Structure 1
Amino acid sequence: MHGPGSSGWLLVALCAATGMYCLLRMRSGVEEQRRAAGGEALMGFGMAAMAVPAAAFTPPAWTWPLWAAVFGAAGLHALWSARASARHLHHAVGAGAMVYMAVTMAATPGGAHHGGAGTPLLTGVLLLYFAAYVLVTGARLVPVAAVAGGPATDWGDRPEVARACRLSMGIAMVAMLLTM
């Protein structure tokens, strides 16, 4: 969040590209893909917007409470959806981390982030969670032997590509939390 210029722009590009792919996944024929893709697209685009370097654009003070409200609503939706699938708990944690970062940015004078503004314990817990998530998700990307003669799937329905997107958002979250 508002780190050095070049790394900030790389983070913006990564998160925006992930958000775009998630929007494409919303057209999937697989219902579970469509359900998860909307929240993941919101997360990708939100992370991209929050990662824009402060030297390029400093958002007005009212944007941080707006982000907190949007991601708070997304977190509540994820908690409600967690009744059907525990995977949605990860989405709730991600939305909670975004709320935390937005609230921290709102409390920072001028909205510029200078490090150390967040609660160190909460930042550390979130860092540990997302670092573990990145490691587990990365391990799941290890290639598995393809099933010969299996049904062809649309590139938007490929679970390994969706995992790669989740992995990139997890890495981006770690990078953003490191600036806290």
Structure 2
Amino acid sequence: MADKTLRVLGNGDPANRRPVEWTHHEVGFIVFLVLLPIFALAATVSLEWHALVFWAVWSPFLVKALGWWRRRRPQEAWLEGSVLSVRRGGTVKRCDLATVQRADLVTSMFAEPQPSFSELRVGQKKVELRYVLKTAEEEALSAGELRALAEALESGERPSEAARSAAARLREIARYGHERSWSERVDWSHRVSRRD
């Protein structure tokens, strides 16, 4: 069972926080998200049929942009025993990792040239919590912090299969610094080269 000490996760010095840096493709993506609905609105007002195409193209990009914005929002997190608390803005959400029924690690590398960060998504009956595994300085969490999250996920009497799987993935990231690809997991030592 995890101890009840308070552990602040990814707590960097606010004086060292970097300003948000915008890459060229991010600026282009934002301009695209602004211009496309303008054209769609103009086509809608003039009752042109291709307005439907504009709206159909714009909607998935808007969903992606909202997810991207959520991952970039500043967050504070702390682990007290097995209870993970995450503060974004003025809202604090808490979830007991020892009793989660749903747990997953999601990594999005679409349109992100910086190192991609996994997002821990856990849930109980009515509680859904998302925590981007990064520090205030946009760096990866330490191996000790990742292992503490993994231990909290497995600290329940009967952790769910999803919790065990997420804990194993967290330990892998702690050990190697990233999730290994399938080619890194395969034992290639059995391959024999043929020489004719």
- Alignment TM-score, normalising by the size of structure 1: 0.29
Q: Comparing both structures, which one devotes a greater share of its residues to strand?
A: 2
Asked which structure has the greater RCO (Cα within 8 Å, sep 6+), the reply is: 1
Q: Comparing both structures, which one devotes a greater share of its residues to helix?
A: 1
- Alignment TM-score, normalising by the size of structure 2: 0.28
